[in-house]
Chain A
Amino acid sequence: MAERVVEVRSLVKQYESLKAVDGISFELYDGEVFAFLGPNGAGKTTTVEILECIRPLTSGSAKVFGYDVTKREDVKEIKKRIGVLPQDFSALDKLSVKENIDLIGGMYKKKLDTFEVIKLLDLEDKAKERFENLSGGLKQRVGVAAALVNDPQLVFLDEPTTGLDPKARREVWGVIENLKKLGKTVFLTTHYMEEAQVLADRIAIINKGKIAVTGSSQDLITNYGGRKVLVIRKGGEKLAETLQGLYGDTALNHGGDVIVKVDDVNEMWRALSTLTDMKMNREIEIQTPTIEDVFLKVVGGRITEEGELK
């Protein structure tokens, strides 16, 4: 069993009448990538900032490496051990990439060599470039480099790809995968389903300050994703009626495709054998549920590109 790095119990953050975080509990284990997946205003950043010791909690408890985030002496220890890429990361515009990383590194007694970090993030060519001249993706990489300069055991990445184009987003994903390879524990917050599914070992779906479900993406899909879908292109009305009779839950779309929802592989084979029995040679497609289906099931909505719940 891996060591527990973060332990949160019944955490509440109240702003007057608004409960931003509403009694959540979860843990992070050494070396895992843990994702908080939820829409804007779900309480992701508030939770992360409480763990980063820059926002006080209202009630409950939060410990990082066993240190209490509410105790002054413990906070010093926590700050030494964590690296942070805040939401909308920014740095001093007129300083170079190296100078900005040096600035953050200068705050720690124990730190990595700046060039080592620059190399790790593949920023050698941009080391002397001013921060203001970098693209969005490169700025995020500088942010990650700054988060790693104190060689932290735990790295918080708060919405690291928000606002980036798909290419830059993939670049950041590569960086996060590298962090995992380096054995870092990563706490990732995101509103991108695919990002959480691709990168995280475990996902907590959070909405309105409460955690709806927690688990690995596979477990969540298995438990909440619903049935697999078999699509038979141009199957036609007759096939649809036959499969409906045999399995139920079959539909015919406007293009003449037959859509059958199946529970397992056996059911899928039986549906396909029906196709063979009817001597029909059709193109088929198997659609497996995703985290988006899980989210739809447990939250009852989808998240837009901008992070809003619809």
Chain B
Amino acid sequence: MIRPLVIFLAVTKNWIRSRSGLFFSIMFPVLLLIVFGAIFSGGGGGGASTLFVQNLDRKSDGTVTELSSAFVGALNSTKVFAIKDVPADADAKVWARNNLGPLGGNIRIVTISKGFQDDLLNGTLKVRVGISYGLLSETYQYLTLYGGLNETQRTIYEQGLAQLRQYNEILPDSRTSLTIALDASDQSGAVIKNIVINVANAFNYGLIGATNVIEFKDDSVTSNRYGAVDYYLPGIIAAFIMTNGIIALTSNTTEFKRRGIIKRLSITPLTKFDWIIGNVLSQTLLSIMLTAIMIVVGWIVFRVQAIPDALTIILIFLGSVMFSGLGMVLGGLVKDVEAASALGNAIAFPMMFLSGTYFPMEIMPSYLQSISRVLPLTYFSEGLRYALIYRYTEGVLTNMALVSALAVAFIILGSVVTRWKEK
């Protein structure tokens, strides 16, 4: 057991003293965590989307009408938007482009047309009269059918209905419109548009006196209150344990092979299996260090609540073995460092994005979901999420079983393809 430990110590020291190795294995994932956390945590108040609003509905004195102003207030109350008023006499698109600010962004313009208030009032009145007519008409038909009306009552009902119908016909068929201008490349455009439509609908219902029958309440599926960064943390850890195994170990192995270091060691009593165990141990230590640093940084910066337990440590060990094994397989198959790096990247990057690490698998097309179900990272990151966030032991164990099986398979395959003798 001494020889694998000697290899473990040597390759670990060699890695720790390499600045580039240290950066890509530890610093880069930490930076990514901070960036992801900053983007998705929603804190700091800077997350509101800019929405340009040009209100053309003005009174003769130039001031905005009460209802159009209330509508802008309703948009503002969603806290989704940072509203910027576009002067009524400006070309909205040109003005918006000139007033985006130094950081730029997407241009989204809502235009409130002239006559918004009048059209809304007339339209609302017509709706209310229409509703009243409908209710009275249904009541009249019901009472007539069941003989509940005498002749006098029937006459009064019919006169009333006729007057309402006449009034409804006299009232203008007013509809007001809002214009929403979006950039075709704006990925959040559809969401922004839906929010504006929902605000408009709520405004409509409010004006005709409707109330919400269904009410939503917020709840959480986890016992603790976790932030978005808590959910990204296991994914980032899993993804970088994977890249360290597949890309870094593969490149190191081929570099050692190219420089004759593996050949030199193979002349000693060191066996191929000793070499593999030493490297796997080194990768495991690296993975545990990465996890610890990510959790500490996550706690300091974002107050993440994920705390690793014994199951997490075991899963990290098995994940490290699995991806080290895969790295050994790739390192054994390719001859030069460039090819190793290209092959490692070609496998690692699609796996990173298809395994539900950064994006939920549910948003992917079904054929991509089928692919993700055969990727080892899917089970590792899912297991890590269950272990660190949900505390769902059964889910951890199921994924752990799959990771263990793959770890054994890759280690065996890695020891087969690692060449310990020249041809």
Chain A residues in the interface with B (C-beta under 8 A): 15, 49, 52-56, 76, 79-80, 82, 84, 86-95, 99, 102-104, 106-108, 130, 146, 150
Contact = CB atoms under 8 A, between A and B. Distances in A.
Given A55-B423, A84-B264, A95-B13, 11 more contacts: A54-B263, A54-B422, A55-B421, A76-B269, A80-B269, A88-B259, A92-B10, A92-B11, A92-B13, A103-B6, A107-B270
Nearest to B421: A54
Task: Please provide the 5 A-B residue pairs with the shortest distance between their CB atoms, ordered closest to farther.
Answer: A106-B6, A107-B268, A94-B17, A90-B259, A55-B422
Interface of B: 2-3, 6-7, 10-11, 13-15, 17-18, 259-261, 263-270, 420-423
Contacts of B264: 84, 86, 89-91, 104, 146
Nearest to A87: B260
A79 B269 contact: yes
Q: Which of B2, B7, B17, B420 has the most CB of A within 10 A?
A: B17
Contacts of B2: 106
A86 B260 contact: yes
A88 B260 contact: yes
B411 to A, nearest CB: 21
Contact of B423 (A15, A93, A108): A15
Given A92-B10, A99-B13, A106-B6, A82 B260 contact: no
A84 B267 contact: yes
Contacts of A52: 267
B268 A94 contact: no
A79 B267 contact: yes
24 contacts: A52-B267, A54-B266, A54-B420, A54-B421, A79-B267, A84-B267, A86-B260, A86-B263, A86-B267, A89-B260, A89-B264, A90-B261, A92-B11, A94-B14, A94-B18, A95-B13, A103-B6, A104-B264, A104-B265, A106-B2, A107-B3, A107-B265, A107-B270, A150-B268
B101 to A, nearest CB: 47
A108 B269 contact: yes
B261 A94 contact: no
A90 B260 CA distance: 6
Contact of A94 (B13, B267, B421): B13
B230 to A, nearest CB: 36
A106 B3 contact: yes
Contacts of A53: 267
A262 to B, nearest CB: 48
B174 to A, nearest CB: 79
Nearest to B6: A106
Contacts of A76: 269
Contacts of A104: 264-265, 268
A79 B420 CA distance: 14
A90 B259 CA distance: 6
Nearest to B422: A55
A164 to B, nearest CB: 17
A287 to B, nearest CB: 40
A15 B422 CA distance: 12
A55 B266 CA distance: 11
Nearest to B261: A90
Contacts of B260: 86-90
A54 B420 CA distance: 7
B10 A99 contact: yes
